[in-house]
Structure 1
Amino acid sequence: MSRLDSMLRRLTAQRDGLNWAAERISGQPGDVLDMGLGNGRTYDHLREILPKRRIWVMDRVLQCHPDSTPPAEDFLMGEAEPMLHRLAAGGHRIALAHYDFGRGIKHEDVAEAERLSPLIAKVMQPGGLLISGQPLVGFAQIQGPRTIAPDRYLFYTA
């Protein structure tokens, strides 16, 4: 599979998974967390499908498209560990989290996801959903939309 085809497959799975999860958290309390802002495409989509939810966004730097810039009070800039501690200390509970940290070096990205998993668990609303391109630990893995290959995106409940 070409890198272009792989990217298209990933983005389609990401969109379909977010849409699926947004429907499932309807009526549940809690905010949304987008871990890894990047260009801001995912954040922009979350704003569209969950317009009444507060959407927290974290990344090391703010370098997204100007149309996809989160409000300053919802953007947590810096390393993930202190930002997750900050959310937890503020009593914020997350109904839907999207994990998209990584640099594309698989073994490093998997290790980072494993290391961050306990901190993510501290901010999750019980029964909240997590969607991730990397395996997370300490959560119950569930089947996402049947249109998404099981190895492409992973789905969990807190």
Structure 2
Amino acid sequence: MSRLDSMLRRLTAQRDGLNWAAEQVADLAGDVLDMGLGNGRTYDHLREILPDRRIRVMDRVLQCHPSCIPPEQDFLMGEAEPMLARLAGESARFALAHYDFGSGIKADDVAEAARLSPAIAKVMAPGGLIVSGQPLIGFEQITGPDSIAPDRYLFYRA
């Protein structure tokens, strides 16, 4: 599979997974957490599909498209662990989280996801869903939409 085809498959899985997860948490209280703002495409999509939810966003730097800059009070800039600790200290609880941190080096990305999993668990609402491009630990892995190939995107219940 070409890198272009692989990217298209990943982005389609991401969109389908987020749409599915948004429907699953429709009756669950809590905000939304987007871990890894990047250029802002996912954040922009979350704003569209969950217009009545507060969406908190974290990343090391703010370098997204100008139309996708989150409100200042909803953007947490810095390393993930202190930002998750800050959210836990605020008693934030998320009905839906999207995990999209990564360097592109699979072993490093898997290790980081495992290391951050306990901190993510502290901010999730009971029954909340996590849509992730990396394997997480300590959560119940569930089956997402049929349109997504196994292990292309991962789904977890808190």
Q: TM over 0.5: same fold? A: yes
Q: Please give the alpha-carbon distance, in whole angstroms, between the structure 2 residues aligned to 1:72 and 1:103.
A: 25
Q: Please give the alpha-carbon distance, in whole angstroms, between the structure 1 residues aligned to 2:100 and 2:150.
A: 17
The share of aligned pairs that are identical, in percent, is 79
- Tell me whether 1:121 sits opposite 2:121 in the alignment: yes
Letter in 1 for 2:83: M
Q: Please give the alpha-carbon distance, in whole angstroms, between the structure 2 residues aligned to 1:5 and 1:68.
A: 25
1:12-31 alignment runs, 5 A limit = 12-31=12-31
Q: Please give the alpha-carbon distance, in whole angstroms, between the structure 2 residues aligned to 1:93 and 1:51.
A: 18
User: What does residue 72 of structure 2 align with?
Assistant: 72
- Tell me whether 1:138 sits opposite 2:138 in the alignment: yes
Letter in 1 for 2:6: S
Question: How large is the RMSD of aligned CA atoms in angstroms?
Answer: 0.4
Letter in 2 for 1:11: L
User: What does residue 111 of structure 1 align with?
Assistant: 111
Q: Please give the alpha-carbon distance, in whole angstroms, between the structure 2 residues aligned to 1:64 and 1:74.
A: 14
Alpha-carbon shift at residue 135 of structure 1 (Å): 0.1
After TM superposition, the score normalised by the length of structure 2 is 0.99
Q: Please give the alpha-carbon distance, in whole angstroms, between the structure 1 residues aligned to 2:11 and 2:37.
A: 14
Alpha-carbon shift at residue 27 of structure 1 (Å): 1.5
User: What does residue 86 of structure 2 align with?
Assistant: 86
Alpha-carbon shift at residue 72 of structure 1 (Å): 0.4
Q: Please give the alpha-carbon distance, in whole angstroms, between the structure 1 residues aligned to 2:131 and 2:151.
A: 12
Alpha-carbon shift at residue 123 of structure 1 (Å): 0.1
Q: Please give the alpha-carbon distance, in whole angstroms, between the structure 1 residues aligned to 2:106 and 2:27.
A: 36
Cα deviation 1:116-143 (Å, max 9, x = unaligned) = 0000000000000000010000000000
Could you tell me which runs of 5 or more consecutive residues in structure 1 were left unpaired when the two chains were aligned: none
Q: Please give the alpha-carbon distance, in whole angstroms, between the structure 1 residues aligned to 2:127 and 2:106.
A: 28
Deviating above 4 A after TM superposition, structure 1's stretches of 4 or more consecutive aligned residues are: none
Q: Please give the alpha-carbon distance, in whole angstroms, between the structure 2 residues aligned to 1:57 and 1:6.
A: 26
Letter in 2 for 1:94: F
- Tell me whether 1:36 sits opposite 2:27 in the alignment: no
Q: Please give the alpha-carbon distance, in whole angstroms, between the structure 2 residues aligned to 1:25 and 1:134.
A: 21
Q: Please give the alpha-carbon distance, in whole angstroms, between the structure 1 residues aligned to 2:24 and 2:127.
A: 10
- Aligned length, in residue pairs: 158
After TM superposition, the score normalised by the length of structure 1 is 0.99
User: What does residue 10 of structure 1 align with?
Assistant: 10
